């Protein structure tokens, strides 16, 4: 297993944001993290990124406990994108990519920026300030930043939230294509069930900090007797049972 | 420590300044206004006060040094606040940059912001009021080191508060220096303070810095013992600032406030 989470919990005072969850992600696979708002998805991502200290439990990456890694050693292999986290607005797209490329110690940075800009079609607004861009453009720039260091692990929190269907489809298509050409393990938190069905090899369903079900999309749809993942999601989150 | 990562964060703030001419103007504007204001007050005292008649420039020099301290501290705070305002906080803290590298980068970059603001004001003071801080000679360098270290220490304390309490702590960032100013004895000798406050004031490097500045300008003597005392006190505050910053950082990780800071 490339990523293994064991009995991971985060308790704020007496509130369990995440409650003893276990999951595994094989190398080069994509795991979908589903659940209603406030179910603990972002907290889980925060703990994987080392931004939040778990109350208990372990995160093992590539056979080594996360707490045993030096901070810069693990973070140079990981990256993250979310529409809720932005890049400095007053800096141009090129300046932002240059800065983060340097922070991640990217070799041949100019070449890498050129490559990724062409792939994500962001050259046209390369010299514009990031704050002046549309949501779709910002999301592509944010994705470019998250791939600047060719991460082995990519954490995505609702990467296509608030995008129009065309741009959303472009982003999903790009992630799919990137994954097919590169060695990358992805954890994707999303409310877009079509996106999850398209990108994820398997999913876990969270509710109130707990994992209530897991499997491939097909397995879950079949298990719950529904016709698609959206209906399955609704059944699971509205139920009080664990499956 | 990685020079490349320290440079990258510094470059982020350098680009921020370079991309915006109004931002450069803002950096220069306030110190210049301060110099004009204190320059005229100083000129008035020189003409109308026996105490100041032989000490032209004491108040203005004090104003310039105090502004140096103020700019150093605010620059440090501002660079941290910029990350919160631009919602870039999470990106910064998931990058493989160490906390020590963040502190180093902000400490170095803060001096650049400080100098952009203060150098034009210092130069204006020479022809306009006939006052040059350079007249303090070599001790000026040591006084600036002490002031800078103390300014950054205050910046570290305020940013620790931002990590601990979130963006709501922003107002404290602006008020922090005004709170200490009365005890710093910037424009008056320490004897003016009540004896109980004199004890507290001596625990700050400001008293030693500004007392020595007046000593050099009024008496014409340099007591290096006082200058080094101020540097040592500043270093102690700087180390305490670093310790509190780390404590706040690990506390923020426990409370989960590093995620989505600024929202």
* pLDDT digits 0-9 by tens, B101-139: 999 999 999 999 899 988 998 898 899 888 888 888 899
Start-to-end CA span in chain B (Å): 31
Q: Using a CB-CB distance cutoff of 8 angstroms, which residues of chain A are in contact with residue B254?
A: 52-53
DSSP annotation string for A5-66: EEEEEEEETTEEEEEEEEEEE-TT-EEEEE-STTSSHHHHHHHHTTSS--SEEEEEETTEEG
In this structure, the strands spanning A56-61 and A3-12 are antiparallel
The more confidently predicted of residues B248 and A162 is B248
Residue B174 has pLDDT above 80, yes or no: no
Where does the pLDDT of residue A101 fall: very low under 50, low under 70, confident under 90, or very high at 90 and above? very high
Answer whether A102 sits within 8 Å of B256, measured CB to CB: no
Q: Report the distance separating Cα A201 and Cα A216, nearest Å.
A: 6
Q: Average of pLDDT values for B50-70?
A: 80
Query: What pLDDT does residue A243 have?
Result: 60
User: What is the reported pTM?
Assistant: 0.88
Element (DSSP H or E) covering residue A109: helix A109-119
- Contact criterion met (CB below 8 Å) for B206 and B186: yes
Q: Is B135 in the A-facing interface, judged by CB distances under 8 Å?
A: no
Shortest distance between the Cα of B223 and any Cα of chain A, in A, equals 44
Residue B48 has pLDDT above 70, yes or no: yes
Q: Average of pLDDT values for B64-79?
A: 89
Pick the residue from chain B with its C-alpha nearest to A49.
B94
- Contact criterion met (CB below 8 Å) for A190 and A172: no
Query: What pLDDT does residue B209 have?
Result: 95
Burial class of B62 by CB neighbour count within 10 A (0 to 12, 13 to 18, 19+): buried
Q: Report the distance separating Cα B120 and Cα A170, nearest Å.
A: 50
Q: Average of pLDDT values for B74-97?
A: 87
Query: What pLDDT does residue A24 have?
Result: 94
Where does the pLDDT of residue B23 fall: very low under 50, low under 70, confident under 90, or very high at 90 and above? confident
In percent, the amount of chain A with pLDDT more than 70 equals 98
Q: Average of pLDDT values for B61-82?
A: 88
Shortest distance between the Cα of B108 and any Cα of chain A, in A, equals 17
Q: Which of A46, A79, A100 sits opposite B256 (nearest CB)?
A: A46
Q: Which residues of A19-57 are buried (b: 16+ CB within 10 A; e: fewer)?
A: bebebbbeeebbbbbbbbeebbbbbbbbbbbbbbbbbeb
What is the distance, to the nearest Å, from the Cα of residue B3 to the centroid of all Cα atoms in its chain? Answer: 24
Q: Average of pLDDT values for B217-239?
A: 92
In this structure, the strands spanning A15-25 and A3-12 are antiparallel
Q: Is A1 in the B-facing interface, judged by CB distances under 8 Å?
A: no
Q: Which domains can be identified in chain A, with CATH numbers?
A: 1-69+188-243 (3.40.50.300)
The Cα-based distances of A83 to A189, B14, B90, B165 in angstroms read 12, 25, 12, 24
Query: What pLDDT does residue B211 have?
Result: 92
Quick one: CA torsion of B131, B134, B136, B141, rounded to 10 degrees? 140
Burial class of A107 by CB neighbour count within 10 A (0 to 12, 13 to 18, 19+): exposed
Q: Is B2 in the A-facing interface, judged by CB distances under 8 Å?
A: yes
Residue B188: phi and psi, rounded to 5, are -140, 155
Start-to-end CA span in chain A (Å): 24
Q: Is A79 in the B-facing interface, judged by CB distances under 8 Å?
A: yes
In percent, the amount of chain B with pLDDT more than 90 equals 45
Answer whether A88 sits within 8 Å of B94, measured CB to CB: no
Answer whether A84 sits within 8 Å of B87, measured CB to CB: yes
Q: Is B9 in the A-facing interface, judged by CB distances under 8 Å?
A: yes
Q: Average of pLDDT values for A84-90?
A: 89
Where does the pLDDT of residue A99 fall: very low under 50, low under 70, confident under 90, or very high at 90 and above? very high
Where does the pLDDT of residue B54 fall: very low under 50, low under 70, confident under 90, or very high at 90 and above? low
Taking all residues of chain B, what is their mean pLDDT, rounded to a whole number? 88
Residue A136 has pLDDT above 70, yes or no: yes
Q: Report the distance separating Cα B227 and Cα B151, nearest Å.
A: 16
From B77, B78, B45, select the one nearest B63 (Cα to Cα). Answer: B45
Residue listed under structure tokens 């103390």: B150
Residue B90 has pLDDT above 60, yes or no: yes
Query: What pLDDT does residue A66 have?
Result: 84
Residue B56 has pLDDT above 80, yes or no: no
Q: Report the distance separating Cα B234 and Cα B239, nearest Å.
A: 9
Sheet holding A30-34, edge to edge: A78-81, A153-157, A185-189, A30-34, A202-207, A210-215
- Contact criterion met (CB below 8 Å) for A159 and A53: no
Count other C-beta atoms under 10 Å from residue B234's C-beta. 24
From A157, A141, A165, select the one nearest A33 (Cα to Cα). Answer: A157
The Cα-based distances of A135 to A92, A124, A161, A211, B88 in angstroms read 15, 15, 9, 32, 16
Shortest distance between the Cα of B117 and any Cα of chain A, in A, equals 20
The tokens describing A154, both together, are 């990519």
Q: Average of pLDDT values for B209-224?
A: 90
Query: What pLDDT does residue A117 have?
Result: 93
Q: Average of pLDDT values for A6-22?
A: 92
Where does the pLDDT of residue A242 fall: very low under 50, low under 70, confident under 90, or very high at 90 and above? low
Residue B261 has pLDDT above 70, yes or no: no
Where does the pLDDT of residue B237 fall: very low under 50, low under 70, confident under 90, or very high at 90 and above? very high
Length, in residues, of chain B: 263
């Amino acid at each position: 297993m490339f990523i293994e989470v064991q009995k991971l919990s985060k308790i704020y005072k007496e509130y369990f944001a995440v409650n003893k969850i276990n999951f595994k992600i094989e190398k080069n696979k994509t795991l979908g993290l589903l659940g209603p708002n406030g179910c603990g998805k972002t907290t889980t991502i925060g703990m994987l990124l080392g931004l939040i200290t778990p109350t208990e439990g372990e995160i093992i990456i590539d056979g080594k406990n996360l707490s045993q890694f030096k901070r810069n050693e693990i973070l140079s292999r990981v990256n993250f994108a979310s529409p809720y986290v932005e890049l400095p607005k007053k800096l141009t797209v090129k300046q932002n990519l240059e800065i983060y490329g340097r922070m991640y110690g990217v070799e041949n940075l100019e070449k890498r920026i050129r490559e990724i800009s062409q792939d994500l079609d962001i050259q046209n607004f390369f010299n514009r300030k990031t704050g002046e861009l549309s949501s779709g453009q910002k999301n592509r720039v944010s994705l470019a930043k998250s791939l600047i260091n060719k991460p082995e692990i990519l954490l995505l929190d609702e990467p296509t939230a608030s995008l129009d269907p065309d741009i959303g489809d472009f982003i999903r298509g790009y992630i799919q294509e990137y994954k097919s050409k590169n060695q990358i393990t992805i954890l994707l938190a999303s409310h877009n069930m079509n996106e999850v069905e398209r990108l994820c090899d398997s999913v876990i369903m969270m509710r109130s900090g707990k994992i209530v079900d897991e499997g491939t999309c097909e397995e879950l749809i079949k298990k719950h007797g529904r016709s698609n993942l959206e209906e399955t999601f609704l059944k699971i989150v509205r139920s009080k049972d664990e499956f | 420590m990685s020079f490349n990562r320290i440079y990258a964060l510094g470059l982020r703030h350098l680009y921020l300044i370079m991309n915006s001419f109004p931002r450069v103007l803002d950096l220069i504007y306030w110190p210049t206004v301060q110099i004009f204001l204190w320059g005229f007050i100083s000129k008035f005292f020189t003409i109308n006060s026996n105490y100041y008649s032989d000490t032209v420039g004491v108040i203005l020099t004090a104003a310039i040094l105090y502004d140096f301290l103020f700019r150093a501290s605010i620059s440090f705070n501002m660079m941290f606040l910029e990350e919160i305002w631009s919602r870039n906080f999470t990106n910064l803290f998931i990058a493989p940059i160490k906390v020590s590298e963040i502190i180093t980068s902000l400490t170095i970059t803060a001096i650049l912001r400080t100098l952009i603001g203060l150098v034009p004001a210092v130069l204006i003071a020479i022809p306009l009021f006939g006052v040059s801080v350079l007249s303090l000679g070599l001790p000026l360098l040591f006084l600036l080191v002490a002031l800078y270290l103390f300014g950054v220490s205050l910046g570290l304390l305020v940013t620790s508060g931002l990590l601990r309490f979130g963006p709501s702590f922003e107002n404290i960032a602006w008020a922090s220096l005004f709170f200490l100013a009365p005890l710093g004895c910037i424009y008056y000798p320490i004897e003016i303070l009540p004896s109980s406050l004199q004890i507290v004031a001596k625990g700050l490097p400001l008293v030693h810095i500004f007392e020595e500045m007046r000593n050099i300008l009024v008496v014409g003597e340099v007591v290096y013992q006082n200058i080094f005392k101020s540097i040592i006190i500043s270093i102690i505050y700087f180390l305490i600032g670093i310790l509190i910053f780390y404590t706040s950082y690990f506390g923020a990780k426990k409370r989960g406030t590093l995620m989505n800071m600024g929202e």
